[in-house]
């Protein structure tokens, strides 16, 4: 059975977001609490149903409903927050809300460069240097003709 090896998201035919989408900082500032920031995160992901999210996260539907009703007996599982934002929803609205709520400017943050991104930058610089050297040689050859 192939479905045993697939995530719930893949079984439902939903691609996992690979790149994070931008979140409007004005919408972050409008959220009165963390629960609303979680709701914004799901809404921005564009899922047709919350079921797609809570099943992927392995959360019971009743617990999920209590989280969003701000029921004191149900809390969002903090150990699943990063996966929720990056892999499932493809945005970091709750993180930006926390940053804003702590008095920091979310617009001044930048992500770490991955090893692949760093290598890509290095390769781009090498290509640019080689192209400049090639242009210098071509100019020299034209001038010496």
Mean pLDDT value across the chain: 85
Distance of alpha carbon 63 from alpha carbon 67, whole angstroms: 6
pLDDT of 2 higher than 60: no
What per-residue confidence (pLDDT) applies to 10?
A: 53
pLDDT category of residue 118 using cuts at 50, 70 and 90: confident
pLDDT category of residue 44 using cuts at 50, 70 and 90: very high
Beta strands in 50-128 (DSSP E): none
Q: Where are the domains of the chain?
A: 7-109, 112-145
Both structure tokens of 130: 């080689």
pTM higher than the cut 0.75: no
Kindly report which listed range (16-20, 57-61, 101-105, 124-128) carries the lowest average pLDDT score. Answer: 16-20
- Of the candidates 76, 72, 86, 85, which has an alpha carbon nearest to the alpha carbon of residue 40? 85
What per-residue confidence (pLDDT) applies to 11?
A: 54
pLDDT of 36 higher than 70: yes
Classified as helix, coil or strand, 74 is coil
Both structure tokens of 112: 């770490």
What per-residue confidence (pLDDT) applies to 3?
A: 44
């Amino acid at each position: 059975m192939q479905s045993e090896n697939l995530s719930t998201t893949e079984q439902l035919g939903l691609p996992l977001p690979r790149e994070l989408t931008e979140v409007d900082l004005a919408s972050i500032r409008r959220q009165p609490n963390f629960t609303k920031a979680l709701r914004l995160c799901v809404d921005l992901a564009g899922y047709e149903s919350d079921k797609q999210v809570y099943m992927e996260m392995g959360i019971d539907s009743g617990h999920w409903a209590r989280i969003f009703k701000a029921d004191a007996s149900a809390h969002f599982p903090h150990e699943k927050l990063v996966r929720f934002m990056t892999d499932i929803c493809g945005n970091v609205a709750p993180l930006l809300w926390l940053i804003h709520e702590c008095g920091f400017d979310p617009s001044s943050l930048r992500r770490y460069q991955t090893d692949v991104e760093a290598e890509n930058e290095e390769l781009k610089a090498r290509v640019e240097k080689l192209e400049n050297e090639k242009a210098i040689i071509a100019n020299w050859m034209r001038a010496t003709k």
